[in-house]
Structure 1
Amino acid sequence: MEDDLWARIEPLLPPWPERSPGPKPVDDRLCLQGILIDELAGWGMVPPVLVADAGYGQNADFRDGLDGRGIGYVVAVRSDVTVHPQDAEPVTPPWSGSGRKPQPRYRDTPSPVAAPATGQGRPAFTEATWREGSRGPMRSRFLALRVRPAGIRARRLARAAATAREGCWNGVLPEATLLVEWPEDAEAPTDYWLSNLPAATPMAELVRLAKIRWRIEHDYRELKHGLGLDHFEGRSGTGWHHHVTLVTAAHAFLTEQRLAPKADTAASPSTRSSTPSRTC
């Protein structure tokens, strides 16, 4: 099993052309995530949109992998991720006639996402509600900007993709939507997301997807407390996989029942959560 897993992971690992002492560190989570997404696709189950926290969203290779697979995403990033404005255009410096021809580059240094967000000012942010909580609507103030994610790795990925597709690269970085949250009681923006969804995607939909982590946490509580994910007491890997498979199947069944039309009626047993935890 381990040899088979490694055979599938190894082709996804980045090359080591410039390694000095020791191997180049690799984020195993990203490799495994790619394997899981591809395996789901092999079953005909491609996610319409993928959401992730900054542990994944911060990684340009991860975002590029989703782009290459045609999967839409809304992923969190830290405030130090750099971007160019949407209307920025690369220019090619004149060639001196000797040496390598200069490559097209943007005139200005990219800015951290916090800069354009703060520069817009509070009046540019609008209020949006993403769900009903236990104490009423959950809302905050948001702003959506079209940007071009930058950075050394982003440039290399863009160059490689364009060269493979067209044989050359004009220096233009792909566009993305930057979603920013600036709560009313905060002195500065607090959270940032990048998305490759169409530019016309309503901000309300971007906010709903960016804030959908509550659903993941709810499902995990249901798996753990209601369906016994943490009740396994065996010692074998086979037993653990058997246990997790049954728990996952039970959760899929409950989810299907909740989504069925009959779940809209108050008397339906499928509307009752199997977890004692509060969902809000």
Structure 2
Amino acid sequence: MQRQYTGTAERVENSQVGVFLAYVSPAGRALIDRRLYLPETTWCDQPERRAAAGVPDQVGFATKPALARQMIAAAIDAGVPVGWVTADEVYGADPGLRADLENCGIGYVLAVGYDRRVAINDGRTLVRGDTLAERIPTTGWQPRSCGPGAKGARDYLWAWITTATRPGEHRWLLIRRNRATGELAFYLCWSPRPVPLHTLVRVAGSRWSIEELFQTGKGQVGLDHYQVRGWTGWHRFITLAMLALAVLTTLAATARQPDPDIIALTVAEIRRLLNALVLTQSLPPAHTMHWSIWRRTSQARARRSHYQRRQAN
């Protein structure tokens, strides 16, 4: 099942577009659900094309936010513990998604555009996000880290503005500013209870986990290594890849860390060990483990040196 589009490849390419749900916790993160997005005009309105690709008759057009709402509802029904939801602007602009989460009592930090209008002064005034950002004094920006990155802590300046329209409502516009470039990002936030700024910052920072999961999935379990053209084939392949990534993530989360001077076992390292110890036996297991420890010790040493240089600057 493929369609033509002009995108970042700067040419017409064949592709499938998937919407994914990721679960993030302090112990690890994994993809837990997926939906295949079918464009309305090029797929949903073409019965012959749908039949050739094996699309079920009951599957109709749904926007990406609508697919996200389906997956979140399914996760809640399955008993998945959910504290917060975060997503990019495509989903932050959807009022139905925000309403669903509020009805379920689930907090959210959803990205929106700079021109998003929000209510201030107890709902009496509507102001664009970028206009509000210009009014924030220097003292109104607070430095916070939204989590560790590949090159150290991801430090930004943050400001939050109450947008509640009723007493007892916990609703904010969260604004992030890049220290170096001044680039701004905006988030609509809601919580069933009062929360501090650092909680919203942490949730906003966790949104990048989906990008990291895609990178890991493609590199470690071949998430994008397929050439299927059918509905069933796509779902089978993607589900198996997600399962493989979840298994590796679980092994990494439960692995014992014997030495603080060695990088903890990662998804990539566990896959490498499984390949060496299970799929092939060309080298003695002790030899493979020795090189794993050496590699992670070197990584820990390099990370400490990198952090020290960043702190010195």
Question: TM-score band, normalised by the shorter chain?
Answer: 0.5 to 0.7
Alignment partner of 2:210 out of 203, 211, 216: 216
1:127-206 alignment runs, 5 A limit: 127-148=143-164, 175-186=170-181, 190-198=184-192, 200-206=194-200
Aligned positions, number? 217
Q: Per the alignment, do residues 79 and 269 of structure 1 end up closer, same or farther by CA in structure 2, a change over 3 Å counting? A: closer
RMSD in angstroms over aligned alpha carbons?
3.1
Q: Per the alignment, do residues 111 and 225 of structure 1 end up closer, same or farther by CA in structure 2, a change over 3 Å counting? A: same
Give the secondary-structure state (helix, strand or coil) at the position aligned to 1:132: strand
Would you say 1:59 and 2:94 are equivalent positions? yes
Q: Distance in 2 between matches of 1:265 and 1:203?
A: 34
Shift of 1:75: 0.5
Amino acid at match of 1:43: A
TM-score (norm 2): 0.60
Alignment partner of 2:243 out of 226, 243, 249: 249
CA contact (8 A) 1:262 1:268 kept: no
Give the secondary-structure state (helix, strand or coil) at the position aligned to 1:229: coil
1:5 corresponds to: 59
Q: Distance in 2 between matches of 1:199 and 1:114?
A: 27
Q: Distance in 2 between matches of 1:198 and 1:219?
A: 29
Would you say 1:88 and 2:142 are equivalent positions? no
1:28 corresponds to: 63
Alignment partner of 1:207 out of 201, 204, 223: 201
CA contact (8 A) 1:254 1:270 kept: no
Q: Per the alignment, do residues 236 and 61 of structure 1 end up closer, same or farther by CA in structure 2, a change over 3 Å counting? A: closer
TM-score (norm 1): 0.66
Would you say 1:233 and 2:227 are equivalent positions? yes
Q: Per the alignment, do residues 264 and 246 of structure 1 end up closer, same or farther by CA in structure 2, a change over 3 Å counting? A: farther
Q: Which runs of 5+ in 2 are unaligned?
A: 1-54, 273-313
1:13-39 C-alpha deviation (Å, 9 max, x unpaired): xxxxxxxxxxxxxx6112211211122
CA contact (8 A) 1:177 1:197 kept: no
Q: Distance in 1 between matches of 2:226 and 2:181?
A: 43
CA contact (8 A) 1:48 1:72 kept: yes
CA contact (8 A) 1:257 1:263 kept: no
Q: Per the alignment, do residues 260 and 52 of structure 1 end up closer, same or farther by CA in structure 2, a change over 3 Å counting? A: same
Q: Per the alignment, do residues 223 and 144 of structure 1 end up closer, same or farther by CA in structure 2, a change over 3 Å counting? A: same
Q: Which runs of 5+ in 1 are unaligned?
A: 10-26, 90-105, 150-170
Shift of 1:268: 8.6
Shift of 1:71: 2.0
Q: Per the alignment, do residues 199 and 234 of structure 1 end up closer, same or farther by CA in structure 2, a change over 3 Å counting? A: closer
Pick which of 212-221 and 197-206 moved more: 197-206
Q: Which protein has the bigger strand share?
A: 2
